[in-house]
């Protein structure tokens, strides 16, 4: 726990720099703001919450690890449908040599992000009742702190141990519910069931406290309201196989957020004003560190540096011809990239400033949670209705009950709809599934050759490129419940916490 003991002032200074007076800041160095000065008013606590969010989303560890959303990028890089190139960034996560190695920077960065958020949430939960200010504001801030902590424990549960259906008593990660001090002793690892239970308890505690809170315009969609809490609960209940509750919370989360039009689906997934987005992180030229993730996701804008999130060519086969999402596929023609299949879902909103907003939760995901929850509970009719609601919005053919396993169909639809949004590896762990990758070759095993257009109207034959990693690092084939799917606890944490 040593790495997490001195985190409060660092996060507080992130938020306080933007909103407190110079005289207030001058009393102490900006990274040494005393807690007794911060936790005095509700407005100061508001700054703590905002600073915590800014830390989570805008902190660079390296250019390859720009904040919390890089966890979502790693989840997709380690899945089945993203064919990562050899460009800088997530190439080692893709090959399964990074997250299994507890000495890697990405491993320590993810751990640090999550536990710093948890520690700051613990400070707010513990102290906000004693500050002066509006009681409604104080209650809402406490609820948002509970939700942030619940989100972090849900993230930890998703990647640091297999689903509790495998072994509910398997050791996962430590749980901390009080602010840390220099004297805090590291906690032992809790079981995976205990971590999920804590995540759900936190989110349930948040529910009544954020009820009635209105965020205002779309630029405030990063703030946690009741819809966000319900959506996080829907995810948690889906992962713990509580189907009725998962469906109910997903339905509640969607209220007020209609599915986007087919036209909007093609606009680049870069704008929090999208009517379907329940939760998102906005970017401006002055607050844009998180936008660095677009350099991996955006494979078509000229300003994108790495364009590494290419699509597995087999992924395209999941889509109907009339599906609007097929318009996003395009074989790359640039000399350094030709032969890769681009899926142009993500594009910078501003190609001059190189910024774009990030989606964290939307109604399409919630519709699929409803569909899966109904299906796993045995209500295939309701499941088909929810599935077809989404498929119709994407101009795809309706699923006809009885024409295929509906659960398998829904899981494929999740891959299609949520590509690049961070659910690939977590879904594999959740369903006890396996990564599926195969070489994109011709029927006889030779290279698959495609024709790509040239600027002069002619075509050039090039080798089609798909997955370059088809096995685990030890040479074994992809299987369920592999150690390579789980994120490691950093070596520094192992060394400094003898109770692990």
Over range 405-412, report the average pLDDT: 98
3-state SS of the chain: helix, strand, coil percent to 5? 45, 10, 45
The CATH number covering residue 204 comes to 1.25.40.390
Q: How confident is the model at residue 334 (pLDDT cuts 50, 70, 90)?
A: confident
Q: How confident is the model at residue 33 (pLDDT cuts 50, 70, 90)?
A: low
Confirm whether 257 is domain-assigned.
Answer: yes
What phi and psi, each to the nearest 5 degrees, are found at residue 42?
-65, -35
Measured distance CA(245)–CA(202) in Å, rounded:
16
Range name among 123-127, 244-248, 449-453, 482-486 with the lowest pLDDT average: 449-453
Q: How confident is the model at residue 15 (pLDDT cuts 50, 70, 90)?
A: very low
Q: How confident is the model at residue 26 (pLDDT cuts 50, 70, 90)?
A: very low
Confirm whether 409 is domain-assigned.
Answer: yes
Confirm whether 456 is domain-assigned.
Answer: no
* Residue span of the structural domain in which 288 resides: 36-437+471-488
Sheet strands (E) in 57-215: 60-62, 65-66, 82-84, 171-174, 189-191
Measured distance CA(195)–CA(171) in Å, rounded:
9
CB 340 within 8 A of CB 310: yes
CB 114 within 8 A of CB 156: yes
CB 166 within 8 A of CB 433: no
Answer yes or no: is pLDDT of 6 > 50. no
Mapped onto helix, strand or coil, the DSSP state of residue 166 is coil
153 to 78, 114, 296, 330: CA distances (angstroms)? 21, 8, 26, 38
- pLDDT score at 448: 95
Residues 6+ apart with CB under 8 A from 486: 99, 100, 159, 160, 161, 162, 429
CB 175 within 8 A of CB 187: yes
* Residues 255/259/260/266 CA torsion (nearest 10 deg): 140
User: What phi-psi label fits residue 440: left (phi over 0), alpha (psi between -120 and 50 degrees) or beta?
Assistant: beta
Confirm whether 59 is domain-assigned.
Answer: yes
Answer yes or no: is pLDDT of 4 > 90. no
Confirm whether 105 is domain-assigned.
Answer: yes
Measured distance CA(308)–CA(321) in Å, rounded:
26
| Per-residue pLDDT tens digits for 180-223 | 998 999 999 999 999 999 999 999 999 999 999 999 999 999 99
- How are beta strands 329-331 and 171-174 bridged, if at all? unpaired
Q: What is the mean pLDDT of the chain?
A: 93
- pLDDT score at 47: 96
Answer yes or no: is pLDDT of 13 > 50. no
Percent pLDDT > 70 in the chain is 93
Answer yes or no: is pLDDT of 225 > 70. yes
- pLDDT score at 30: 33
Range name among 20-24, 355-359, 430-434 with the lowest pLDDT average: 20-24
Over range 317-344, report the average pLDDT: 94
Confirm whether 225 is domain-assigned.
Answer: yes
Confirm whether 29 is domain-assigned.
Answer: no
How many domains are there within the chain? 1
Answer yes or no: is pLDDT of 21 > 90. no
Note the pTM of the prediction, 2 decimals: 0.94
Report how far apart the first and last C-alpha atoms of the chain are (Å, whole number).
10
Structure tokens at 140: 């809402």
- pLDDT score at 178: 97
Structure tokens at 464: 């089609």
Residues 6+ apart with CB under 8 A from 410: 368, 371, 372, 375, 383, 387
Answer yes or no: is pLDDT of 374 > 60. yes
Structure tokens at 252: 């509640």
Confirm whether 453 is domain-assigned.
Answer: no
| Per-residue pLDDT tens digits for 258-284 | 999 999 999 999 999 999 999 999 998
Q: How confident is the model at residue 330 (pLDDT cuts 50, 70, 90)?
A: very high
379 to 375, 397, 415: CA distances (angstroms)? 5, 21, 22
Answer yes or no: is pLDDT of 446 > 80. yes
Helix or strand holding residue 416 (H, E):
helix 406-417
- pLDDT score at 288: 82
| Per-residue pLDDT tens digits for 136-181 | 999 999 999 999 999 999 999 999 999 999 999 999 999 999 999 9
Measured distance CA(416)–CA(399) in Å, rounded:
14
- pLDDT score at 336: 79
């Amino acid at each position: 726990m040593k790495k997490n003991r001195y985190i409060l002032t660092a996060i507080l200074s992130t938020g306080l720099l933007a909103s407190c007076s110079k005289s207030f800041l001058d009393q102490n160095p900006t990274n040494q703001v005393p807690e007794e000065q911060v936790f005095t008013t509700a407005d100061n606590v508001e700054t703590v919450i905002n600073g915590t969010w800014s830390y989570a989303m805008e902190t660079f560890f390296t250019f390859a690890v720009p904040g919390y959303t890089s966890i979502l990028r790693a989840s997709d890089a380690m899945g089945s449908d993203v064919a990562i190139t050899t460009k800088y960034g997530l190439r080692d996560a893709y090959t399964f040599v990074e997250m299994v190695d507890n000495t890697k920077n990405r491993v320590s960065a993810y751990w640090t992000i999550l536990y710093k958020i948890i520690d700051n949430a613990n400070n707010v939960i513990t102290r906000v009742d004693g500050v002066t200010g509006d009681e409604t504001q104080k209650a809402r801030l406490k609820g948002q702190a509970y939700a942030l902590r619940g989100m972090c424990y849900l993230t930890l549960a998703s990647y640091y141990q297999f689903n509790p259906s495998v072994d509910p008593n398997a050791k996962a990660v430590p749980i901390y519910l009080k602010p840390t001090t220099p004297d805090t002793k590291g906690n032992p690892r809790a079981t995976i069931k205990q971590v999920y239970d804590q995540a759900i308890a936190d989110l349930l505690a948040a529910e009544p406290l954020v009820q009635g809170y209105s965020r205002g315009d779309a630029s405030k969609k990063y703030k946690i309201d009741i819809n966000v809490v319900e959506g996080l609960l829907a995810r948690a209940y889906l992962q713990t196989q509580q189907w009725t509750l998962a469906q109910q919370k997903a339905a509640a989360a969607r209220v007020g957020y209609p599915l986007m039009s087919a036209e909007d689906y093609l606009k680049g997934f870069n704008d929090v004003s999208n009517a379907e987005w329940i939760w998102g992180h906005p970017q401006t030229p002055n607050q844009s560190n998180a936008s660095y993730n677009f350099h991996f996701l955006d494979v078509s804008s000229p300003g994108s540096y790495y364009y590494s999130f290419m699509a597995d060519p087999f992924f395209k086969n999941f889509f109907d011809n009339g599906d609007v999402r097929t318009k996003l596929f395009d074989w790359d023609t640039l000399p350094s990239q030709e032969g890769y299949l681009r899926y142009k879902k993500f594009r910078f909103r501003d190609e001059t400033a190189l910024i774009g907003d990030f989606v964290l939760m939307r109604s399409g995901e919630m519709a699929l949670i409803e569909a899966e929850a109904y299906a796993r509970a045995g209500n295939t009719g309701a499941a088909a209705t929810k599935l077809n609601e989404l498929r119709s919005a994407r101009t795809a053919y309706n699923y006809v009950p009885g024409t295929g396993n509906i659960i398998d169909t829904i899981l494929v639809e999740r891959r299609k709809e949520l590509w690049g949004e961070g659910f690939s590896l977590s879904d594999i762990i959740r369903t006890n599934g396996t990564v599926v990758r195969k070489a994109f070759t011709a029927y006889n095993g030779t290279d698959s050759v495609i024709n790509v257009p040239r600027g002069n109207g002619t075509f050039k034959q090039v080798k089609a490129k798909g997955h370059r990693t088809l096995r685990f690092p030890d040479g074994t084939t992809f299987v369920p419940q592999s150690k390579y799917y789980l994120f490691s606890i950093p070596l520094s944490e192992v060394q400094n916490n003898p109770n692990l």
